Structure 1
Amino acid sequence: MTQQITTRRAFRRTDDYTPGTPKVKLVTEPLPPLTPTAVLIKVHAVSLNYRDANIANGGNPWPVVPHGIPCNDAAGEVVDLGDGVKSLARGDRVAPIVDTENITGREATRSWLAADEDGVLADYLVFEEEKLCKLPDHLDWVGASIIPCAGVTAWTALKGVEIGQSVLIQGTGGVAMFALKLARAAGLKVILSSSSETKLRKMKEQFPSPPLLTVNYATNPEWHEEVLKLTDGAGVDLVVEVGGTGSLVKSMKCTRRGGIVSQVGYLSGQDPQKLKELLPVLIDRRVVLRGINAGSKHDMDDLCAAVSATQMQFDDIIDSVQPFEKADEAIEYIWQGKQVGKLVMRI
């Protein structure tokens, strides 16, 4: 089929890390060619992650392509496809996976959207068929857009826990809120931590039954001891860890012996001095410490199946919806940590 649409509007990073300067610029550019095994996607919604603001402000610890397109969470529909595409059709609701090399989870290479390659903050995208997943039919575009990165990261971070077990979820960002939804649906005891009493109070009101357990790590520097008290001294079965070096050791201290710490992020920065106790605690508590880099295409397919089966909705973890043209303001909003849940841009 001949590709009718030849250009797209996209935001590209300015790579100017000076505070107060624009971090992205809107451009009109030619679309990548539509190969026989690729599809053209009309994007309807893109959601932001802290990672996007961090990269735009020069804080990413890994190399990124210069002036790349931000964002790796998007939802859209197939509007054209190559002659060799077999599993997708026009009108299908799809999203690309975050690590486009990670199909089965056994690949030796990786390529992250918005880092090693362009991201998805554009009105049209071209992707190979194998790098796309079908989205749940019952979700609107806004809800569907948070699945690829925040959703799949939360899904893989929670692997290994069973009904009746406990999980500590750190923060109220996108991954944390998605993990909270999944954990509650899976019958897990949830402890939520934050530095904001206002955010914790809002979460308690939003998730009243069963009562949500909370810990404020700003007012309680020894917050790991509070988590231990809430689990009768045993510790949680799993931690969704987003702090990094500033909180990792304490997270391990409040994980039960033989439990799991899923290292998702590094919001507190990187300070090796805070890891002096890492090895003794790791060995003493027999903690399984694992790095979480979103997940594979198979993981995303499994998550979408679970969301469809439960008819899960995400309206209650959407912070706000902004127009596509407000991308720079949205990135700054995330950078300042104002959001509770997900900020989504509608196109």
Structure 2
Amino acid sequence: MSNPAVTHRRAFRRTDNYTPGTPKLKFVQEAMPALAPTDVLIKVHAVALNYRDANIANGGNPWPVVPNGILCNDAAGEVIAVGDKVKTLAIGDRAGPITDTENISGREVKRSWLAADEDGVMADHVIFDENVLCKLPEYLDWVEAATIPCAGVTAWSALKGMSIGQTVLIQGMLTTRQASQWPRRQENGPFAYSYMYIGTGGVSVFALKLAQAAGLRIILTSSSDTKLLQMKEKYPAILTINYSKTPDWDQEVMKLTGGEGVDIVVENGGTGSLVKSLRCTRRGGIVSQVGYLSKQNPEDLRELVPTIIDRRINLRGINAGSKFDMEDFCAALSAAQSRLHDLVDKVFPFEQAEEAVEYVWQGKQIGKIVLQL
């Protein structure tokens, strides 16, 4: 077992103070545990933030979280030590953990999410069992690679089953202002065009990247004309919808798809948008529920069951993805040598983690926010 002299680490733990305007993170230096036989010690080079991190830090997570836990589940780093029974990784490998450390093959009955059920990766060193780690593509820089485990794998999993000529819709990202209203936690042919309805968050821009690579036509949605214009300048071929100005966005999507509806929806709003997403999915299509960004109100689901039955929709939950999914995604990226730097909106130094979390909470990003160490 190689064991460099790493006895302590720097990390940011949550304050669990959900009062607006108060710090959400506390910088700590803490002792590192000894490596178990199948453990791997990783020197973290980059950590990517997701909306769920800002949501957890502000008390909005709908599931329990460990007190004062470490945020984030997206990280890329270098293996610097391994336990004496580690077989799949070696010193010098590039690796990152899967988001749900119980989800290896996709058939497991348990789950354990980083940054919620257990500590996350907002630290300069982390230790994980080799079974929950994946090798990362060698050709990517650390910032790019850090975006893969959660946002990348979520988009990859949610779009499973798409093919040339199908239509794909990604329900647009709601603003943080809307999401912050929640109660807070107390203790046609081979070359036919396809369509994607997309927002401006991390999963959305990853899905845009994948859809482009698959030759799909894209419809982009946001509540911000500024964001839509910026994305239009970056990707001139896309169509755009401002859903705040078009409340009946599901009808607009039906018009854009000739009244047929889309084949797959990547749905990230939750109760406030799910029924509309179902309405603009073709009969027999798929809705992948990946998030819960809107204000959650059960009253919005009164037409859920009849709509699912009428349109014969397959509604599937996407919990990021399994280790196998992440390995498949990394293999696909490596085969295509696809760069991911265009998905990164802004890079913060590690020491500015608090500012980065607030940036995401305010919904300022178009793409991924990354901390660099």
- With the shorter chain as reference, the TM-score category is over 0.9
Code of the residue aligned with 1:142 in structure 2: it is V
Structure-2 separation of matches of 1:55 and 1:226: 33
Unaligned residue ranges in structure 1 (runs of 5+) = none
Query: What residue is the counterpart of 1:231 in the other structure?
Result: 257
Query: What residue is the counterpart of 1:267 in the other structure?
Result: 293
Query: What residue is the counterpart of 2:222 in the other structure?
Result: 194
For the Cα contact (< 8 Å) 1:164–1:189, is it kept in 2?
Answer: no
Query: What residue is the counterpart of 2:203 in the other structure?
Result: 175
Q: Following superposition of structure 1 onto structure 2, how do residues 1-347 of structure 1 map, counting pairs within 5 Å?
A: 1=1, 3=3, 4-169=5-170, 170=172, 171-208=199-236, 211-347=237-373
Structure-2 separation of matches of 1:207 and 1:271: 35
Q: Which digits, 9 at most, give the CA deviation of each residue in 1:142-200, with x for residues without a partner?
A: 00000000000000000111112111122200011001101111122322211111111
Code of the residue aligned with 1:165 in structure 2: it is Q
Where does structure 1 differ by over 3 angstroms across 4 or more consecutive aligned residues? none
Residue 64 of structure 1: how far off its partner (Å): 0.3
Which deviates the most, 1-10 or 38-47? 1-10
Code of the residue aligned with 2:255 in structure 1: it is K
Structure-1 separation of matches of 2:338 and 2:165: 20
Q: Give the structure-1-normalised TM-score.
A: 0.98
Which deviates the most, 172-181 or 191-200? 191-200
For the Cα contact (< 8 Å) 1:165–1:189, is it kept in 2?
Answer: no
Which deviates the most, 72-81 or 268-277? 268-277
Residue 2 of structure 1: how far off its partner (Å): 5.2
Q: Secondary structure at the match of 2:332?
A: helix
Structure-2 separation of matches of 1:10 and 1:33: 17
Code of the residue aligned with 1:160 in structure 2: it is G
Matched residues, percent identical?
Answer: 70
For the Cα contact (< 8 Å) 1:168–1:193, is it kept in 2?
Answer: no
Residue 138 of structure 1: how far off its partner (Å): 0.8
For the Cα contact (< 8 Å) 1:196–1:216, is it kept in 2?
Answer: yes
Residue 32 of structure 1: how far off its partner (Å): 2.6
Q: Give the structure-2-normalised TM-score.
A: 0.91
Q: Secondary structure at the match of 1:189?
A: coil
Q: Secondary structure at the match of 1:340?
A: coil
For the Cα contact (< 8 Å) 1:152–1:294, is it kept in 2?
Answer: yes
Aligned residues: 345
